[in-house]
Amino acid sequence: MNRSLQIRAGLTAVILLFSLYGLLPTFKALSISSADREAAKENPERMAEISDIDAAAIKRGLDLKGGMYLVLEVDQEGMNTSEAEDALLRVKEILYNRVDKFGVSEPEITTFGSSRIVVKLPGLQDPERAKALLGQTARLEFRMVRPDTEIQPVLEKLDRLYLGAAVPEQDVEDSAPVEDSAAAANDDVASAEGDSAAVAGADTAANPFGELDDMMGSDESLAGADEAYLKDHPFSGLLVVQPGILGSTPLFVQEDNVDRVQAMIEDPRTARKLRNVEFQLEMEPMDFGQGQMLRPLYLIDIKPILTGDQLTDALSSANNERPGLWQVNFSLNNRGARTFAKVTGENVGRFLAISLDGRISSAPVIQGKIPSGSGSISGNFTNAEASDLALLLRAGALPTDVYIAEERTVGPSLGSDSIRMGINAAIYGSLMVIIFILVYYRMSGVVTVIALVSNIIILMAVLAQFDLVLTLPGIAGIILTVGMAVDANVLINERIREELRKDKTIRASVQSGYANATRTIIDANVTTLIAGGILLWFGTGPIKGFAVTLSIGILTSMFTALVMTRVIMEFMTRKQGRKKMSI
C-alpha cells in the first residue's frame, strides 16, 4: 500500500469515526422515550442530563417538533432612521423578555430587515396565548380624570366636529354606499346579517378587521340611540349619561356602540380638537341588570403622571373584594413612588385612571397621599389573564405597535407524524437505491453502498455539529441527496467499465476512471450547488432546511465518491495482475 493511499485511508476513517461520535447524542436522544422524559421532570439531575443530550443532538425544525413561527412587523410610522432602528431593537429585547418569562424552551428571536422580527417558539402548547402576549403593547399609564364639569363643552366640540364632517373614515349620512360596502364584505368571508349591515359596513371602513367582528357573531345595531338626536349629535348621541353611579364619570357607552365610539375617539381629528385631554373607554363593560351592558367612558389628561417604565415589579394575586377575580399588584421605583406620593397628596378626592393600551382598567378615587409607591390594577381578570398582565408589565411595554404579518403554527401531533413519514420514506427510498446498486454493480456496488451510508452519516453529523435544523423538506433533501449521491458513483463506475472495455488493466482502469470522472462530477455538482445556494439565500424556515441538507449532501457526496470510494477501490485492486473485477 503506497503512502498516499495510507494517508487518504486514515483521513477517511477519522472523518467517519468523528461523524459517528458526533451523532451519538442524537441516537441517545432518540432512545429516550417520552415516558422517560416525563419521569425526569421529577429529577433535576436527570433533567439536566437529558437537556445536555438534546442540545448536542440534531435540532428538529418547528414543522417536525411542533411550534410557532411568527413574523412581526414593527410600526415605525413617523420615526426617523435611528429612531426606527432603536424601536426595532427595543421591541426585540422586550419580546425576548416576555417569551423568556412565558416559559418556552429555546425561543429564537431575531430581527429581519429594518422593520421585522422573527419569533420561533418550538414546542408551544397555546399559540393563541402566545400571540396575545407577543402582540400586546402593554403600555401602562396613570392619568388624572378630568372633573365632570369639563365634560359638556368637550362633548359639544366633538358633536360640532363630526356634524357635517364625515364621521371617522366613513359616511354615515349617505347610507347607501355604506350598505354597498357591507354587501361587498359579505361576498367574502364575512357574515354580517342584513339588519346590521349598515354599521358593519361602517365598521369595515374604519377598521380593516371590522368584518371579523361579524365573524365573531357580535350583533351590531344602533340599539338605544334615538336616530334624530344622533343626527344632530353624532358623538354625544352615542353616549348614555348616568351620573352618580360611579363618581369617576357620568358617561357610558352601550356595548353595541363601543366600536363606533372607539373609532371616533381614536380619530386624529379628535386629538387635534381636544389637545390636552382625551376620552378612553373602560376595558370591561358593567352589568346594569336586565342584560344591559354599559361601558364607562372617561375624559382624562393626555399627559400621564406616571408610566409603566417606572414599575419595579408586578405580581398577580386574588382580588379580595371580588371573589373569583384576580388583580395585578405593582410597585414603583423611587422616582415613581415620589411622583406618585406628590400627585396623590395634591389631588385628594379626585379620580386617577389606570390606563392599559388605551383602555381604562379602573379609576379609583384618591383617598389620601400614597407614599408607599405600590398599588394594584383590577379588572375582570381571570388568574391566567392577571398573571399574563403581570408578566407583560414586568417585561416592559413595547415602544410601538407590532403586527403579526406571517404566522405558521404546527401542532405537536402533526410534527411527530411528519417525522415518522419522513424517516419511513428515507429508509425505504435508500433501501430501493441500495438494492438496485448492489444488483447492478455487485462488488463495486458494495463500495457504492458504503459510500452512500457514510454520506448520510457524515451529513447528519454536520447537521448535529453545526446546530443546523432538520425540517421535513430537510429530510426530503437528504433523501434526494441519496438519489443524487449515487450519481457520482455511477459516473465513476461507468467510466471504469469503459476503460476496462478498452482492455486496460484493472488498476489502470480504476485510476483513469476516477481521473476522468472527477471533472464531470465537479462540473455537474456545482450547478446543483448554485440552486441550493439560491434557496439558502431566498428560503425561509423549512425551505432553508431543504437547501441546507441538499447543499451539504452534495458536498459530502463529493467527498465520499471521490475520496472514500477511491481509497476502497484502489485498496481492492492493489494487487498487480488481477484479471477480473466485479463491476
Partner 1 sequence: MEFFRDPKINFVGAMKVAFTLSAILVIVSAATMLIHKGPRLSIDFTGGSVLQVKMDPAPTVGEIRTALEGQGYQGVQVTEFGSADEFLITFPTPDEVLAAAEEGDEKAGNTGVSTVSGEKTLDAAQILLSDLRVGLSGTEIELRREESVGPKIGGELRTAAINSVVAALFLIVLYITVRFVFRYGVAAIMALVHDVTLTLGIFSLLEFEISLQIIAAFLTIIGYSLNDTIVVFDRIRENMKLRRKESYREVINRSINECLSRTMLTSLTTFFVAATLYFLGGPVIHDFAFALCFGVIVGTYSSMFIASPILVWWSERRLSDKKRTATDM
Of the residues 54, 63, 141, 220, which one makes contact with partner 1 according to CB under 8 A = 63
- Where in 383-402 is the site for partner 1 (CB under 8 A)? 401-402
Cell of 400: 410601538
- The answer to whether the CB of 66 falls within 8 A of the CB of 410 is yes
Q: Which part of the chain contacts partner 1 (CB under 8 A), choosing from 43-51, 97-105, 327-335, 473-481?
A: 473-481
- The answer to whether the CB of 438 falls within 8 A of the CB of 446 is yes
558 binds partner 1 (CB under 8 A): no
537 binds partner 1 (CB under 8 A): yes
171 binds partner 1 (CB under 8 A): no
283 binds partner 1 (CB under 8 A): yes
21 binds partner 1 (CB under 8 A): no
Q: Which part of the chain contacts partner 1 (CB under 8 A), choosing from 86-94, 170-178, 367-375, 492-500?
A: 492-500
Q: β-strands 469-470, 359-362: how paired?
A: unpaired
238 binds partner 1 (CB under 8 A): no
Sign of torsion over alpha carbons 79, 83, 85, 91: negative
Cα separation, 560 vs 524, in Å, equals 16
486 binds partner 1 (CB under 8 A): yes
Cα separation, 97 vs 92, in Å, equals 9
Of the residues 105, 110, 191, 320, which one makes contact with partner 1 according to CB under 8 A = 191
Return the number of the residue (374 or 528) whose C-beta is nearest partner 1: 528
Of the residues 543, 555, 568, 572, which one makes contact with partner 1 according to CB under 8 A = 543
Of the residues 11, 524, 555, 572, which one makes contact with partner 1 according to CB under 8 A = 524
494 binds partner 1 (CB under 8 A): yes
Return the number of the residue (36 or 83) whose C-beta is nearest partner 1: 83
**SS3 category, 350:** coil
Return the number of the residue (430 or 454) whose C-beta is nearest partner 1: 430
> Minimum Å distance from CB 464 to partner 1?
22
Residues near partner 1 (CB under 8 A), total: 109
- The answer to whether the CB of 352 falls within 8 A of the CB of 366 is yes
Cα separation, 325 vs 319, in Å, equals 5
Q: Which part of the chain contacts partner 1 (CB under 8 A), choosing from 73-81, 328-336, 461-469, 557-565?
A: 73-81
Of the residues 132, 165, 223, 348, which one makes contact with partner 1 according to CB under 8 A = 132
- Where in 353-372 is the site for partner 1 (CB under 8 A)? 356-359
- The answer to whether the CB of 286 falls within 8 A of the CB of 294 is yes
Burial label, 530 (beta-carbon count in 10 A; 0-12, 13-18, 19+): exposed
Of the residues 406, 515, 578, 582, which one makes contact with partner 1 according to CB under 8 A = 406
187 binds partner 1 (CB under 8 A): yes
> Minimum Å distance from CB 203 to partner 1?
10
Return the number of the residue (236 or 262) whose C-beta is nearest partner 1: 262
User: Minimal CA–CA distance to 22: which of 56, 51, 59, 61?
Assistant: 56
> Minimum Å distance from CB 189 to partner 1?
5
Per-residue exposure over 227-236, b if at least 16 CB sit within 10 Å of its own CB, e if not? eeebeebbbb
Cα separation, 451 vs 559, in Å, equals 9
Cell of 441: 454493480
> Minimum Å distance from CB 31 to partner 1?
24
Cα separation, 99 vs 170, in Å, equals 39
For residue 240, the number of C-alpha atoms closer than 13 Å in the C-beta half-sphere is: 22
Q: Which part of the chain contacts partner 1 (CB under 8 A), choosing from 18-26, 226-234, 325-333, 535-543?
A: 535-543
- Where in 297-316 is the site for partner 1 (CB under 8 A)? none
Return the number of the residue (156 or 407) whose C-beta is nearest partner 1: 407
- The answer to whether the CB of 546 falls within 8 A of the CB of 463 is no
- Neighbour count for residue 430 (Cβ, 10 Å): 18
Sign of torsion over alpha carbons 3, 6, 8, 10: negative
210 binds partner 1 (CB under 8 A): yes
Of the residues 417, 443, 578, 582, which one makes contact with partner 1 according to CB under 8 A = 417
Of the residues 109, 144, 158, 190, which one makes contact with partner 1 according to CB under 8 A = 190
> Minimum Å distance from CB 70 to partner 1?
9
Return the number of the residue (86 or 357) whose C-beta is nearest partner 1: 357
> Minimum Å distance from CB 221 to partner 1?
17
Rg (CA), the chain: 34
User: Minimal CA–CA distance to 472: which of 542, 424, 408, 538?
Assistant: 542
Read out DSSP for 143-186? Answer: EEBPPGGGHHHHHHHHHHHHSSSPSTTS-SSSHHHHHHHHHHHH
Cα separation, 308 vs 361, in Å, equals 14
Burial label, 258 (beta-carbon count in 10 A; 0-12, 13-18, 19+): buried
Of the residues 59, 60, 131, 260, which one makes contact with partner 1 according to CB under 8 A = 131
Return the number of the residue (159 or 179) whose C-beta is nearest partner 1: 179
- Neighbour count for residue 242 (Cβ, 10 Å): 15
Of the residues 436, 443, 515, 578, which one makes contact with partner 1 according to CB under 8 A = 436
- Where in 83-112 is the site for partner 1 (CB under 8 A)? none
173 binds partner 1 (CB under 8 A): no
443 binds partner 1 (CB under 8 A): no
Place of cell 367612558: 297
